[in-house]
A = this chain, B = another copy of it.
Amino acid sequence: MPASPAAPGSTALGEPRSEAGRRRAGRPVGGVLDKAGITAAALELIEKKGYVGLTMAALARSLNVAPSALYNHMESKRDVLLLVEDHLAALVDVSAFGSEPWEEAVRKWAWSYRDVFSRHTPLIPVIAVLPVTDAPQTLAMYETVSVGFRDAGIPEERIVSSIVALESFIFGSAYDVTAPADIFDSGSMAEATPSFTGAVRSLAAQGHERPADVAFSLGLEALIAGLGALRE
């Protein structure tokens, strides 16, 4: 017989019932507070402590709950990451599709997409392999983008490949944003790599504030031009 449990009123989860349970018992709807609450707590934790601080124990603590309680609502930590990912997908700006020329819409989408995930790079390995079924907001983003591509005249068989190509570039570029400024400092090997060292110096001499932005712009414009050329 374990020790007496915490006061029941002290728990904060608003809608602590599984889908199945809710359906069977016909509860007062909701369904939001549960996943929404976990997502909000996870996001706050990530903001304050970063992804290193996002542990099941810390998450439970910030929800005033025992770690094991989380497993009544999620199968694993991966599910928490999925929740966060899907929330972020809704922050990506797809508004220009339908209201602006395709090139401009892609540009805004891509910059926004990269900016959102550059602050959440630990999610990238998760997203990249994530079946879209598990992430409704992400799927909604794909739908909007897809309509935009179709309306712009991209042949239907190429739409998915084009999106994937852009997304791959975006994910890779999100990492760049977080790279240290001196990442290309060749140090003691400088004499052995004159061409590369010269190129690094030459870029540095331009004095760009965010070198990652230059590379991103360069690649993005090339992709937009190249993919746009395939329109009918």
Contacts and interface: CB of A to CB of B under 8 A. Distances in A.
Interface of A: 121-122, 124-125, 128-133, 136, 139-140, 142-143, 145-147, 149-150, 156-162, 164-173, 175-176, 178-180, 182-189, 192-196, 198-200, 202-203, 205-206, 211-212, 214-216, 218-219, 221-223, 225-227
A140 B194 CA distance: 11
Contacts of A132: 183-186
A220 to B, nearest CB: 8
Contacts of A169: 165, 168-169, 172, 219
B199 A160 contact: yes
Nearest to A141: B196
Given A125-B175, A133-B188, A199-B150, A157 B206 contact: yes
> In the complex this chain forms, how many copies of it are found?
2
Contact of A168 (B182, B189, B219, B227): B219
Contacts of A183: 129-132
A55 B219 CA distance: 37
Given A125-B125, A175-B124, A193-B143, A131 B182 contact: yes
A161 to B, nearest CB: 4
Given A160-B184, A176-B164, A193 B142 contact: yes
A20 to B, nearest CB: 16
Contacts of A192: 139-140, 143
Given A139-B186, A160-B200, A226-B225, A195 B146 contact: yes
